[in-house]
Amino acid sequence: MMNDNLSFNPVTITGIGRYIPETVITNEDIAKLVDTNDEWITSRTGIKQRRVVSGNETATSLAYKAALDALAFADVKPEDVDLIIVATSLPDSLYPSTACEVQAEIGAVNAAAFNLVAACTGLVYGLNVARNFIMTGTYKKVLLLGVDVHSRFLDWEDRSTCILFGDGAGALLLEQSADGQNDVLSVDMHANGKKAGELSIPLNGKNCPLVEPNEAKQQYVNMNGKEIYKFAVSVVPKSIKHALSGAGLSTDNIDYLIPHQANMRIVSSIMERLGLSEEQVIANLDKYGNTSTASICVALVEEIMNGKIKQDSIMAMCGFGAGLTWGTAIVRWRALDKRKK
């Protein structure tokens, strides 16, 4: 975790955006595919419905719309963006990167671009990378996108996974703060590769025909749900407290907790361990399911636009997922929607 007492450029979030596909899949719809029902899914996950891509929609097309939303919010032109980071574990292709495809689509002709893979913790990891580029003066305007399209990588006959995931994209525009105030107060990141097998999507490939053949793997989500639950409720509260300590704050200073929207049981457990009230926790997974690396940003944008999250709110944004990875960002929200002026 970077020492914020050193002399660095202050960082702020000036733009927010999101995009959710229009196609809705309800619990009743899933009951047509596997042996389940609305009560069973809701009681175990808190999810009532999720959105999925259809037709020619892609991770790039979702990220493109979220990116335009964030740039409009901040009143920033695409050509003024210095860097695009796309946090995604499910891009449209291994290469070119989704970041390069978004760069072309929005016309950010002056921006460098790359993907970052940290699964559901991707937005927190990306936030830290963007923050450090700005703090050190390498870039002034960084567009951070979180997008995943899980619906095309699910076994829709596997009840343990197909009920959980939805598709979506979120966007944050980070800039060097004009007034000298730093709003990305602290970031805490961790990984444990020894537990990587608990949540994975294999990449299907074949050996060269001149060598011994290999067995093709199905490219579906594989998850040990019990282990992921134990992992999340154990490490995330510690990460939040560590990040708060790095910012010189405590849990008493948290206005809102915005967790990765994985499962309401996990969210509730984290809330209870930190002694937070339901009013302080932002959760919308009942409508969108687990949108992976987009989930924190999708929840953030929805509550800012609904007026729940006010100016000068202190937010703990925490992610956890495959890798295994986890982390927390402590952020002060101060940006104003330029479209209203």
Q: Spell out the domain ranges in the chain.
A: 11-176, 184-336
What's the CA dihedral at 333, 19, 281, 250 to 10 degrees? Answer: -40
The candidate with the shortest Cα–Cα distance to 315, out of 259, 267, 261, is 259
Is 297 tagged catalytic? no
Kindly name the residue from 162, 290, 297, 318 that is annotated as catalytic: 290
Show the beta-strand stretches assigned E in the chain.
11-19, 23-26, 49-52, 83-87, 112-116, 141-148, 168-176, 184-191, 199-200, 222-223, 256-259, 313-321, 325-333
pLDDT < 70 stretches in the chain: 1-6, 340-341
User: Residue 165 carries which side chain, given as an amino acid letter?
Assistant: F
Architecture of domain 11-176: 3-Layer(aba) Sandwich (3.40)
- Site of tokens 């990116």: 67
- Secondary structure (3-state) at 273: helix
Asked whether 167 and 195 are in contact (CB, 8 A), the reply is: no
Q: Among the residues of 21-58, which ranges form H helices?
A: 27-30, 38-45
pLDDT at residue 6, as a whole number: 55
pTM of the full structure: 0.95
Query: Which residue out of 120, 162, 297, 318 is catalytically annotated?
Result: 120
Q: How far apart are CA 48 and CA 30, in angstroms?
A: 11
Q: Which pLDDT score, from 0 to 100, does residue 59 have?
A: 98
pLDDT reported for residue 5: 47
Q: Is 242 assigned a catalytic role?
A: no
Total length of the chain = 341
Q: Which residues of 54-86 are buried (b: 16+ CB within 10 A; e: fewer)?
A: eeebbbbbbbbbbbbbbbebbebebeebbbbbb
Whether 150 is catalytic is no
Which strands make up the sheet holding 256-259, listed edge to edge?
A: 184-191, 325-333, 313-321, 256-259
> Out of 115, 150, 162, 260, which one is annotated catalytic?
260
pLDDT tens string 277-295: 999 999 999 999 999 999 9
**Residue 195 Cα to chain centre, angstroms:** 20
CATH code: domain 184-336 is 3.40.47.10
Comparing C-alpha atoms, which of 61, 172, 166 is closest to residue 106? Answer: 61
